[in-house]
Structure 1
Amino acid sequence: MKLFYLAFAGVLYLASFAGDVFAQSNDNFLTIQLKDGPVVIELLPDVAPKHVAQIKELASKGEYDNVAFHRVIDGFMAQTGDVQFGDMEQGFQASRAGTGGSSLPDIPAEFSDVPFERGTVGMARSQDPNSANSQFFIMFAPGDFLNGQYTVVGKVVSGMEFVDKIKRGAGANGEVTDPDRMVKVTVGKQ
C-alpha cells in the first residue's frame, strides 16, 4: 500500500511540475486579437528580458487594447503600441500617434544577433538606441538593415495571415488614415 501512495504522490508531483512548466512557457506568449483573427507571438526573454518584461506588464494592464497600427508600410512592417496617443477608444490623436510611449520608463537597448525576418517583432525607438518604451513592429518581410540596430523581442508563431491584412498607410512615412487596431492583447496563448 505504501508503494501505491508513493507512486500516486509521484504522479501528482509530476503533474504539478508539468503544469508549472506549461504556465511558465505560456507566459512567454502574447496574443493580439485583430479584426480578422488572433496573432500569437512567442516572446524572447532570453534575448531581450527588459523589453519583454515591459511588454508583458503593459499587456497585463490592458494598455495595448484598442491601440492603432499607426504606421504600416507595405513590404516592410506594421507598427503599433503607442499607448499614450494611439488608443482609439480613449484619447486617440492621429497626428501624434507614434510619438508617445507609456508611463513606464524607456528601456536600454538589448541588441542581439537574432535577424529581422518575416514575422519578427522588434521594438520601435527614436534615434536614441535607448529610447524604446511601448511601441513595437511586426515585419512583413526580412529587414537585414535593422539587424543589430533594433531590439528583437519575439516572433509571430501563428496568425501571420491576419497581420498581412492590416490596413497599409498611404502617407510618405506609412501613416494610416482610419487605422486598424489591436482589439485586445493578452499574455499567454488564448
Structure 2
Amino acid sequence: MTLTKAIKLAGLGVALATLTAADTPALSPQEIVDAAPASAWKDIPPEDMVVIRFKDGTSSVLQLAPEFAPVHVANIKTLVKTGWLNSAALIRVQDNYVTQWGYPDAEEAPLPAGVIKTPPAEYEHTPSKNFKPLKYKDSFAAKVGHVASWPVATDGQSQWLTHCYGMIGVARDVAPDTGSGSQLYTVIGQAPRALDRNVTLVGRVIAGMENLSARPRGTEDLGFYKTPPEGGRFTSVTLASDLPEAERPKFQVMDTDSATFADWVKARANRSGTFFVKSAGAIDICNATAPIRKVP
C-alpha cells in the first residue's frame, strides 16, 4: 500500500467515525436518569421524610431541609411527633399558586411544648462552599445552582432556597411574623420567585404531589376553603423514621455534584430528538431540580 493510499484510508476512517458520532442521537434527560449508575444517587434520610395520609385514602411524602431551616424544621418535627398535625387539613388551594394546610376549624390550636411560636427568619444563609452553579442566567439572582441537591440562588453575599414547583414554605402573616411551621404550603403553579427571601422554605414534596396540586380550588379569597373538603383532612402525619421498617417510604435524589447530573442538566437545556425543532440552549433553576426516584 502506498503512503498516499494509507493517508486517504486513514482520513476516510476519521470521517466515518465523525459521521457515526454525529448520527448518534443524544440521550434524552429521561434516558440519562434511567441509565444513571447507583453512585449517582443518594438516599434521603427517613428522619427527614414526612408522610401525610388523607381521609380519601391518598398520601403525600415530604422531604425536610434542616440544613437550610433548622429551627422551623425542628418545630415541624415536634408538631409531627406529638400528633398535633393529625387533625389538620388542606385549607387553601389557589390556582397556579399554592396548596396550604393547617387547622381548619380554628385560627390555630394551642401549640405543643417545645415549638417556638415566633422563630427567626430563616430566609437567607451564609454562602456554602459546596454551591455548584448553573452556567445559565437567572432573572432573580446573580447566580443559581445547587447545594446538596437543593435549588438555591445567591447574590454572592448570601444564598437562599428558591420557590420552585413542589417546594414547601412556612405560611406567615405580615412581617415581622415568620410563621411557626404549623401552617405550610407547597407551590403548585409557575414558580413564584418573588417570594424568595420573603418566606422560609423548609423542604419539598417528593411523592404524591398530585394529591396536593389536583385538589378542588378554594372559592374564598386567596383560594381558601369556606369548609375544607373531607377528603383533604388528614388521618395521620408521621416521620418515616417512626414507621416500621417495612412501611417506610424509601427515596433517592440524584447527586447534583455527579457527572450524571451535569449530563442531565445539559440534556435538559439542549433538548433534541424528533420533537424539538429548536433547542433553548438554557435552563431555569426550577427546570433543573434534582431527579428523585424510589429506591430500586
Q: CA RMSD for the aligned pairs?
A: 1.9
Partner in structure 1 of residue 214 of structure 2: 165
Instruction: Indicate yes or no: 2:93 matched with 1:72.
Output: yes
What is the percent sequence identity of the aligned residues?
Answer: 28
Partner in structure 2 of residue 25 of structure 1: 45
3-state SS of 2:164 partner: coil
Tell me the alpha carbon deviations over residues 110-157 of structure 1, each in whole angstroms, 9 at most, x when there is no partner: 003111111000001111244311111011021111111000000011
Partner in structure 1 of residue 162 of structure 2: 115
Instruction: Indicate yes or no: 2:172 matched with 1:125.
Output: yes
Determine which structure has the larger helix proportion and give its number: 2
**TM-score, normalisation: structure 2:** 0.49
Moved more, 36-45 or 177-186: 177-186
In the TM superposition, residue 36 of structure 1 has moved relative to its aligned partner by 4.8
For the residues of structure 1 that align with 2:196 and 2:63, how far apart are their CA atoms? 19
Listed as ranges, the gaps of 5+ residues in structure 2 are 1-42, 125-159, 241-247, 250-296
Partner in structure 1 of residue 183 of structure 2: 135
Assess if the C-alpha contact under 8 Å between 1:167 and 1:176 holds in 2. Answer: no
**TM-score, normalisation: structure 1:** 0.74
For the residues of structure 2 that align with 1:167 and 1:54, how far apart are their CA atoms? 29
- Identify if the C-alpha distance between structure 1 residues 102 and 45 changes in structure 2 by more than 3 Å, giving closer, same or farther: farther
Partner in structure 2 of residue 178 of structure 1: 227
3-state SS of 1:149 partner: coil
Assess if the C-alpha contact under 8 Å between 2:178 and 2:199 holds in 1. Answer: no
In the TM superposition, residue 162 of structure 1 has moved relative to its aligned partner by 1.2
For the residues of structure 2 that align with 1:136 and 1:40, how far apart are their CA atoms? 14
> Moved runs in structure 1, 4+ residues, more than 6 A?
none
Counterpart of 2:218, as a letter, is G
Listed as ranges, the gaps of 5+ residues in structure 1 are 1-21, 87-91, 94-98
Partner in structure 1 of residue 65 of structure 2: 44
For the residues of structure 1 that align with 2:95 and 2:207, how far apart are their CA atoms? 20
